[in-house]
Amino acid sequence: MFVLSNRAKSLKPSPTLAINAKAKSMQAQGIHVISFGAGEPDFDTPQNIKAAAIKAIEEGFTKYTPVGGTDELKDAIIKKFQRDNGLTYKRSEIIASCGGKHSFYNLAQAIFDAGDEVIIPAPYWVSYPPMVALAGAVPVIVETREENGFKLSMEDLKKAITPKTKALIINSPSNPTGGAYTKEELEKIAGMALSHNFFVISDEIYEKIVYDHFKFISIVSLSEEIKKRTIIVHGVAKTYAMTGWRIGYTAGPEEIISAMSNIQSQSTSNPTSIAQKASVEALAGSQKEVFKMVTAFEERRNYIVDRLNKIPGVSCFKPIGAFYVFPNFSSYYVKSYQGKKISNSTELADYLLDVARVAVVPGVEFGADPFERLSYATSMEDIKEGLNRIEEALRKLV
Ligand SMILES: *Cc1c(COP(=O)(O)O)cnc(C)c1O
């Protein structure tokens, strides 16, 4: 008898979580590792948000809530879309889940069937292809180019569209590249979705983390027609340094939200009541802390991009948003260390962890082997020391 399902056997753990685990276990052995692996802000959750959660506990707000979140939370989400994006949603078009990842998972379960094709531009967030595949659908990977700001070209998109195309996933600003779409580019994507009749899944989790006064636009705001064809996946994790609280949310057509709610009602039920109260405060309360965090991220981005571009053989696109850089290290994939060849992003990441004691995430995990992902959601001091170590380790390669 076989123990595991084919579904379970087809999965491997999220590589970004795995790299952090390895770095942490080295730390536990007393090795000083500098980690650029983090997929989360290094800041603490703002005090007003914590206070709302403590109040919720003290007031006994500790029971089941409606499956898709309280009306209070849904209203805070609705207000956020109105305030920030000029979008109008009804409660029946909103669902809160246990993190943006859970939102995406439930969405995939709600709209994908076996044989459906889902276009995913690469570099992509590591979890999209497995979650699409878990829903039985086929991830169709379309490559983007560094010199294009890692954005989908319409020619490449067109080539990937077939009668089976059910959806396109966009993530702007992007994890891992920091690329972000302009209004004009989104208009072209929306035009394609409408003329070829597929859905757009717009992962807007990094909406607030943008630099150089970049104006974030949600594709949904372009027209009523594209609103009917788009599902926004969002959450509080990145904007409010709330990764551990596990609140994500989805906005989209009522029929889809209702199906997601059914799936959620038979699996997790409601997201944590206390975290919902905290998220109401996050979305509706003062946004001052967000500004402070983004200012710090921008300063680090400027530094890290500059340093990386000064390393011989490395090129680094300057991110427009999120808190990652995605430098191209492929000129090192022909080198060796003590007779051992380094020939791809995984081997270089292993080398950097072993020799430089610096954790980065191999680009191959995001569907782009020439690159490594470095998160700058870490202190300036660590960024400086980490880059010194990387430079020194790269110099040892022959
Ligand atoms: C972090 C992240 C999410 C969601 O994270 P949660 O912690 O599950 O809310 C979604 N999409 C992208 C691209 C992310 O980087």
Supply the pLDDT for residue 136. Answer: 96
Supply the pLDDT for residue 39. Answer: 86
- Kindly report, residue by residue over 305-363, the tens digit of the pLDDT: 999 999 999 999 999 999 999 999 999 999 999 999 999 999 999 999 999 999 999 99
Q: Do residue 195 and residue 262 come from a single domain?
A: yes
Q: Please give the distance of CA 214 from its chain centroid, rounded to a whole number.
A: 18
Whether 49 is covered by a domain: the verdict is: no
Ligand 1 atom nearest to 100, measured from its CA: 9
Supply the pLDDT for residue 23. Answer: 86
Whether 162 has a pLDDT exceeding 80, the answer reads: yes
Supply the pLDDT for residue 26. Answer: 93
Q: Do residue 110 and residue 233 come from a single domain?
A: yes
Stretch 191-219: mean pLDDT: 98
Whether 27 is covered by a domain: the verdict is: yes
Whether 53 is covered by a domain: the verdict is: no
- Kindly report, residue by residue over 255-273, the tens digit of the pLDDT: 999 999 999 999 999 999 9
Indicate the average pLDDT of the chain. 96
Domain boundaries, position 266: 63-284
Q: Which CATH number does the domain housing residue 233 bear?
A: 3.40.640.10
Whether 1 is covered by a domain: the verdict is: no
Give the distance (Å) from ligand 1 centre to CA of residue 91: 23
Stretch 285-290: mean pLDDT: 97
- Kindly report, residue by residue over 11-42, the tens digit of the pLDDT: 887 776 777 788 889 999 999 999 998 889 99
Residues in a beta bridge with 7? none
Supply the pLDDT for residue 312. Answer: 97
- Contact status, residue 273 vs residue 64, Cβ threshold 8 Å: yes
Q: Which CATH number does the domain housing residue 383 bear?
A: 3.90.1150.10
Whether 2 has a pLDDT exceeding 90, the answer reads: no
Give the distance (Å) from ligand 1 centre to CA of residue 203: 8
Q: Which of 284, 303, 325 is the last residue of a domain?
A: 284
Q: Give the percent of the chain with pLDDT over 70.
A: 99
Two structure tokens written together for 234: 């969002």
Q: Do residue 164 and residue 278 come from a single domain?
A: yes
Q: Do residue 247 and residue 295 come from a single domain?
A: no
Whether 58 is covered by a domain: the verdict is: no
Stretch 219-231: mean pLDDT: 98
354, 367, 180, 197: CA torsion to nearest 10: -160
With a Cβ cut-off of 6 Å, ligand 1 is lined by 39, 99-101, 125, 171, 175, 203, 205, 235, 237-238, 243, 248
10 Å Cβ neighbour count for 138? 16
Q: Which of 255, 284, 313 is the last residue of a domain?
A: 284
Q: Do residue 237 and residue 318 come from a single domain?
A: no
